[in-house]
Amino acid sequence: MTTEKPESTESTEKPVIPQTPASTPTPSSTPTPAPTRAAHSLQGSVVSAAADKTITVLIERKIKHPLYKKYIRRSTKVHAHDENNQCHPGDTVIIQSCRPLSKLKSWRLVEVISQAA
């Protein structure tokens, strides 16, 4: 007893679709750059410049109390990279977020707005 499979009219092979030149990558084309995040900038005052190429910046912000509606000052201290050691305590500076440079440093100095008197 031999059982033969009936032949189907459909082909079991997949049709070959030719690739268009636009869909194939060419070695001469340059890759598009990945989208980058906008760097976050903040303004604050320098409280310490004792470490080499590092400053400590105090950033103050005002928030509204949810119940009493009074504005409260909140502050944050961050470490920032000062390549030329140009800042002194009391200076007002603009810092910008960057990749982590050390355990605590992930900000860099952009501009000194005003020097301490």
User: pLDDT tens digits for 41-86?
Assistant: 999 999 999 999 999 999 999 999 999 999 999 999 999 999 999 9
Residue bearing the bigger pLDDT, 33 or 112: 112
For 41-104, the DSSP string reads EEEEEEEE--STTEEEEEEEEEEE-TTT--EEEEEEEEEEE-TT----TT-EEEEEE-S--SSS
pLDDT score of 59:
97
What is the average per-residue pLDDT within 2-19?
A: 64
pLDDT given at position 38: 74
* Residue 58 contacts residue 87 (beta carbons within 8 Å): no
Q: Which residues are bridge partners to 48 per DSSP?
A: 56
- The structure tokens listed for 73 are 């000052």
Residue 116 is predicted with a pLDDT of: 85
Over residues 90-116, the pLDDT tens digits come to 999 999 999 999 999 999 999 999 998
* 41-114 classified as CATH 2.40.50.140: yes
